[in-house]
Amino acid sequence: MTDLGTYGVTRRGLLGVFAATAVVAAPTYSNAFGLLKGAGDIRRIRMYSGRTGESIDTIYWVDGEYIPEVMKEINYFMRDWRSNEAMNMDMRTVDIMAASHRLMDVNEPYMLLSGYRCPKTNAMLRSKSRGVAKNSLHMKGQAADLRLKSRSVSQMARAAAACASGGVGKYSRSNFVHMDCGPVRSWGG
């Protein structure tokens, strides 16, 4: 067995390089994290965007720490595609998404419908739909609207609600689930 320290290589450095190369295209809630335990102390998120054609499949947490370079990639991926504006996403939301995905035991990536929304985009969507909140958590980088082909809206909502770590909205007619890291609550049908 070779001592990596002899070569100036650390375990953390190797894991960081591994995580950074896994990108294809970024204070926390203990309930969601508890569901991620047993994952070898890594957290992974898989998503694609039908709007931009981009995808991401990455490990964003290793040995108790978020990987800053990967967090930047997630922030960019979850940007407002209409304005091309990105913001720092609240990683608690990504943790809820990852924990929910793990509970559903699926290999399919999430389809991201909406992550960050700039105020102008939110106002435009609000003018077209009663279901868009004036002070949406999307504008704070604290929410995501997601879809899976292999799971129903009800199955996705139950998995997110099991995390007991934020808001879960069911939008059955539009076939998506809203997940956020705000107060624990649920709505929709």
Tell me which of 15 and 103 has the higher pLDDT. 103
With cut-offs at 50, 70 and 90, classify the pLDDT of residue 8: very low
- Per-residue pLDDT tens digits for 73-92: 999 999 999 999 999 999 99
pLDDT > 90: percent of the chain: 71
Residue 181, classed as helix, strand or coil, is: coil
H/E run at residue 115 = none
Domain edges within the chain: 4-26+29-188
pLDDT computed for residue 16 by the predictor: 46
Paired with 80 in beta bridges are: 85
CATH for 4-26+29-188 is 3.30.1380.10
pLDDT computed for residue 151 by the predictor: 97
R_g of the chain computed on alpha carbons? 17
User: Which amino acid, residue 152?
Assistant: S
pLDDT computed for residue 130 by the predictor: 80
- Per-residue pLDDT tens digits for 104-161: 999 999 999 999 999 999 999 989 988 788 889 999 999 999 999 999 999 999 999 9
Stated pTM of the model? 0.79
Q: Which of 66, 48, 65 is nearest to 57 (CA)?
A: 48
C-alpha–C-alpha distance, residues 134 and 118, integer Å:
12
